[in-house]
A and B are shown apart, each in its own frame.
Chain A
């Protein structure tokens, strides 16, 4: 578990550790998502009850988890894209700049996404 140590190892190691942790969170969510979607087979009433419960209560704490999940997904995607560009030799010399640039763009995109997603659920 040496990869988990981030003290005094620089931003590169922090990016690496968070890439893995965020990946594990997304894998867990992927299977949870498949489980929830399986309820489509149980019919309209059951599925809509679940969606309603996790959106408007009593289990609306899931909205907070959804926001955290979105944060994790945007982080993972932006850092992953940076690593993909690194594979092509792009951005290696200015990698610290690339890291903050990509994450900055991702966080702006996240805020825009959350704004519109909030408009979406606020209809109810």
Chain B
């Protein structure tokens, strides 16, 4: 028997609104690619974990990989914090609490992408021992 509940799947669309929901779906699709590449590089193809330090540095010295990881941070942080927002909104918060959640998560997003970008650039500038 077909599960009626699955025919109209529950999502955060109503809580987030159509624009943020579409962004949530789009970033999610991008992340399947980004996470797939990252898991392959970091956990299968990168070599022995003990030499991880050198291999990370060598990888991050390539500007394309640096760009890849910066884009990864921006997209994953958006998807993560927008998802958290959807969950909190779904609890039924209204008014000032809802606004505070929105501002707080926006600030958290800005802080995360600034820190993540700065970290990636800083790592890319370390000289390989």
A-to-B contact residues, CB < 8 Å: 1, 3, 9-13, 15-16, 20, 23-24, 26-27, 30-31, 34, 37-38, 40-41, 44, 47-48, 51-52, 55, 70, 73, 77, 80-81, 83-84, 86-87, 92-96, 99, 113, 116-117, 120-121, 123-124
Which B residues touch A73, using CB under 8 A? 35, 39
Q: Given A10-B3, A16-B10, A38-B119, are A77 and B49 also a contact pair (CB < 8 Å)?
A: no
Query: Is there an interface contact between B80 and A52, defined as CB atoms closer than 8 Å?
Result: no
Size class of B's contact patch?
35 or more
Complex formed: what's the CA distance from A84 to B31 in Å? 12
Q: What are 13 A-B interface contacts by the 8 Å CB criterion?
A: A10-B6, A12-B6, A12-B9, A30-B77, A34-B112, A40-B123, A47-B52, A51-B52, A81-B32, A86-B9, A95-B3, A116-B44, A124-B50
Q: Given A24-B84, A124-B48, are A3 and B31 also a contact pair (CB < 8 Å)?
A: no
Contacts A94-B2, A117-B44, A124-B50 supplied; 7 other A-B pairs, CB < 8 Å? A12-B6, A12-B9, A16-B9, A34-B112, A44-B54, A81-B32, A96-B3
Q: Given A38-B119, A77-B35, A117-B43, are A99 and B54 also a contact pair (CB < 8 Å)?
A: no
Q: How far is the CB of B43 from chain A (nearest CB, A)?
A: 5
**CB within 8 Å of A: which of B33-92?**
35, 39, 43-44, 46, 48-54, 56-57, 76-77, 80-81, 83-84, 87, 90-91
